[in-house]
Amino acid sequence: LAHALPASDALELTAQGAPVPVFLIGLPRSGVAVLGRLLDRHSETSLLRPNIGKRLRHTLGINVNRALDVGLLDRALRVDRQQLARDCREALAGMEPGKHFAFDHQPMDFLLFELIASALPEAKFLHVSRDPLDTLLSCLAQPNADNGLPVHDPVALADYFAEQSRLLHRWQRQW
């Protein structure tokens, strides 16, 4: 995904008055879901349901609860981003009046950053992070979590965390 979706490939923006989509991204166990639940309590925010990752999985005909993996990401490159954007904007336009922000908080959906940013150029992203060692240990303590992480191999998990950090830094510079 890193180079397949250029930033100049902007599509139409969210309708006037519709909530701004905000994506909380980060690794599992970093606080993404906790922050999402807290923000959902604010009177001017709402959760984006279904989230964009589930919308994408549905568009691709994949079980919506399947963890993101290389195969799914490869198929995501071929998704009709305009249709995905229309679906998301339709959901945003149909949200409860008075909501200014719609949050999506699926930790592993950080892998979809460039796809989301190119389909929804008006979207905002908040990277949630926590001390890497605390996050790693928390992931290792949840070995049955279905998030696609190599939770049974501490070295591979640490490598994954380092790679995710490099990817996010590159995106920060690029976007």
Q: Tokens 């879901």, residue?
A: 33
Backbone dihedral angles phi then psi of residue 74, each to the nearest 5 degrees: -65, -45
pLDDT by residue, tens only, the chain of 175 residues: 233 333 333 334 455 667 888 988 888 888 988 998 898 888 888 887 767 777 777 777 766 555 666 677 777 777 888 888 888 888 888 888 888 888 888 777 777 788 888 888 888 988 888 998 898 888 888 877 666 777 788 898 888 888 888 888 887 787 6
Amino acid identity at 106 = Q
Rg value, the chain, Cα: 16
Backbone dihedral angles phi then psi of residue 132, each to the nearest 5 degrees: -55, -40
The pTM (predicted TM-score) of the whole model is 0.77
pLDDT of residue 134: 92
SS3 readout for 85-109: HHHHHHHHHCCCCCCCEEEECCHHH
